Structure 1
Amino acid sequence: MNWDDYEGLGRALHEANPDVNHLTVADADLVRLVSALPGFADARIRPDATSLTAVRFAWVAAAEGDDDGSPYDGSA
């Protein structure tokens, strides 16, 4: 995995860190947690803000599950 594998990183973070609050984790801690994942190959590369945000959103999506129900679903 690398910094561009947002969904994979999000799932792996969720599985490896179930007790970490994915909504409030600091950027430096997020980098540390990602770098510690088995199979992560970009540990020496500092991610940009866009990559960190994408990984964070993927982690939220993985933690909250596949229910992407919306109040706007098909009732128009």
Structure 2
Amino acid sequence: MIEIFGALILPVILIPFLVRVTYNRWVAIGLSIVIMIFIFMDFESYWTVVTGVIGTLIGGYFSFRVGKKVDKKWS
């Protein structure tokens, strides 16, 4: 249960943070996926993967919102 909750929350927090650091939303999504693979490598639950994908989609949505604010600020 903890890994499912972590797979949902981790990308939602990590992706917008990495967008602010890297200034590129696609790099942030890629780095988040790589980090999640290393963290959840030992867990072979189907639901962990599904919630990880859902969390990545939600984090990607937030990253596009944060990215628009960064684009306005730096342009």
TM-score, structure 2 as length reference: 0.46
Q: Which has the higher helix share?
A: 2
Over alpha carbons, which structure has the higher Rg? 1
